[in-house]
Amino acid sequence: MFGSLDISTSGMVAQRIRLTAASANIAGANVVEDQYGNYAPFLRREVMLASGDPSATSRDGQSLGVHVREVYQNPDALRARYMPSSPHADENGYVMGPDISSVAEQVDAMEASRAYEANVAAAEVSKAMLAQALRLIA
Amino acid sequence: MLQKTIQAGSLPALEAMMRFTGQRQRLLAHNIANLTTPDFQAKDVSPQGFQEMLGEAVAKRRKRTGGVDGGLDMRGSREVKVRRDGSLSFRPSDSGGVLLHDRNNRDVERLMQDMTENYGMYRVANDLMRARMGVLRTAISQRVG
Amino acid sequence: MSDPVGLIGGSGSPLPNGKPQGPSNEPTDGDAFRQALFGQLREVSEMRQDADKAVEDLMTGERTDLEGVLLATQKADTAFQLLQQMRNRVMEAYQEIQQMRV
């Protein structure tokens, strides 16, 4: 009876994780070292979504819906940045830093937020349909 | 005979579901109210477990009387104890067994979904019971319309 | 109970052995009415039991289609109300006949 609610909830959870990843990427766009000063460039977080939600309780929710397969830290999302004063710079003054564009991440965040709203709207529709069906016996 | 009339058909199952969902609603509201409380552990009783228990009792009743009348004999589970007068007493366990990497993020949505589903089931049981009682009353009064 | 297309029995439709199938043991009018009434009673009772079973299955999780269960209960309740109305009319007719001065 509530399979569609399961599906919408899984969508909300997935979009929230995408939003979190976009926020993390924006925050770490210029990070090249960790708290101890070692060379540890921030790797761009990429959220891998897959269909189906194994943690749902209803059958519909398990086969339909969406879940986060993994949050992949992309080791190739690096580009050379000119930072001659950094202790990690090579002989030309370049450091391999994160290849993150704040603008692109912001667009991702907006898209995730709109998708979240869309899932909430779908859940509301499911609830309204249930209420309508109950009017049959009112 | 009065007992048989009040326990006719699907009324006992509807009553059991109404009790369960009504009590669980309080539990879920408690969890949601404590969303931002530090060190708070959300607890819940499993609706699937209750439905299994209800299914067993309904099957037993069907074998006994063909499902026409008679009360439900629910044996109770670890989480839900059934008292003699039919009321339930909960022993909720910690909800969210497996710690997923995104557990913090899913709590809000899952909590809201649980509450919506629980309320939906309560409405369904409530409206169906009202309809069934209405038909009973019509039959008793013997006047239609 | 009605047979608008003439599929059930019916005069003049021949059987393989060539004889026309006519109504042989036609019950009297009173009997026919009684059988019709009891047939309806049985039907309505079955519909109500089916609806009750559907509701119980919805509660225990055997069924998840709320719409199907609601339609079954609506059908059963409507049929029951129709039966009640028929009973009321019959009772009124009976009482009217009783009050007739011969």
Q: Look up the ipTM and state it.
A: 0.83
pLDDT score for A71 = 93
Longest dimension (CA), chain B: 62
C14 lies in a domain? Answer: no
Distances (CA, A) of B10 to B6, C3, C16, C54, C60: 10, 35, 49, 9, 11
Residues 6+ apart with CB under 8 A from A100: A25, A26, A28, A29, A42, A44, A77
> Are the beta carbons of A112 and A15 closer than 8 angstroms?
yes
C23 lies in a domain? Answer: no
pLDDT score for C26 = 56
Strands of C2-102, DSSP E: none
Query: Which of B5, B10, B63 to mutate: most C Cβ within 10 Å?
Result: B10
- At C13, is the pLDDT very low, low, confident or very high (cuts 50, 70, 90)? very low
pLDDT score for A57 = 76
Tell me which DSSP letter residue A39 carries. B
In chain C, how many H helices and how many E strands? Answer: 2, 0
Boundaries of domain holding C80: 29-98
C91 lies in a domain? Answer: yes
CA distance C24 to C40: 24
DSSP string, A8-32: HHHHHHHHHHHHHHHHHHHHTTT--
pLDDT score for B144 = 54
pTM: 0.78
- At A46, is the pLDDT very low, low, confident or very high (cuts 50, 70, 90)? very high
- Residue in C61, C73, C88 nearest the CB of B128: C73
Strands of chain C, DSSP E: none
Does residue A87 have a pLDDT over 80? yes
Does residue B35 have a pLDDT over 90? no
SS3 string of B24-50?
A: HHHHHHHHHHCCCCCCCCCEECCHHHH
Answer whether C67 touches A (CB < 8 Å): yes
Q: Which of B2-6, B56-60, B84-88, C79-83 has the lowest mean pLDDT?
A: B2-6
Q: Which residues of A are less than 8 Å from C74 in CB distance?
A: 136-137
**Cross-chain residue pair B101–A71, CB shorter than 8 Å:** yes
- At B121, is the pLDDT very low, low, confident or very high (cuts 50, 70, 90)? very high
Does residue B96 have a pLDDT over 70? no
Does residue C19 have a pLDDT over 50? no
C17 lies in a domain? Answer: no
Q: Which of A50-54, A63-67, B96-100, C53-57 has the lowest mean pLDDT?
A: B96-100
**Cross-chain residue pair A130–B109, CB shorter than 8 Å:** no
CA distance C54 to C56: 5
* A33 token code pair: 């070292």
pLDDT score for B94 = 80
pLDDT in tens, C66-79: 989 999 999 999 99
- At C8, is the pLDDT very low, low, confident or very high (cuts 50, 70, 90)? low
**Cross-chain residue pair A2–B130, CB shorter than 8 Å:** no
- At C29, is the pLDDT very low, low, confident or very high (cuts 50, 70, 90)? confident
Does residue A137 have a pLDDT over 80? no
Instruction: Give the length of chain A.
Output: 138
Q: Which residues of B are less than 8 Å from C66 in CB distance?
A: 124
Q: Domain-by-domain residue ranges, chain B?
A: 2-141
Angle between helices B11-33 and B103-141 (to 10 degrees): 150
C60 lies in a domain? Answer: yes
Listed residue (B48, A120, B81, B141) closest to C64, CA to CA: B48
Q: Give the count of domains, chain A.
A: 1
Averaged pLDDT of chain A: 91
Answer whether B72 touches C (CB < 8 Å): no
CA distance A46 to A29: 14
**Cross-chain residue pair B48–C56, CB shorter than 8 Å:** no
- At C15, is the pLDDT very low, low, confident or very high (cuts 50, 70, 90)? very low
Of residues B40 and A129, more confidently modeled: A129
Boundaries of domain holding A116: 3-137
For residues A113-135, give the mean pLDDT: 93
Averaged pLDDT of chain B: 83
Percentage of residues in chain A with pLDDT exceeding 70? 99
Helix (H, G, I), strand (E, B) or coil at A41: coil
> Are the beta carbons of C73 and C54 closer than 8 angstroms?
yes
For residues A14-28, give the mean pLDDT: 94
Q: Give the count of domains, chain C.
A: 1
Give strand pairing partners of A45: A73
C81 lies in a domain? Answer: yes
Does residue B98 have a pLDDT over 50? no
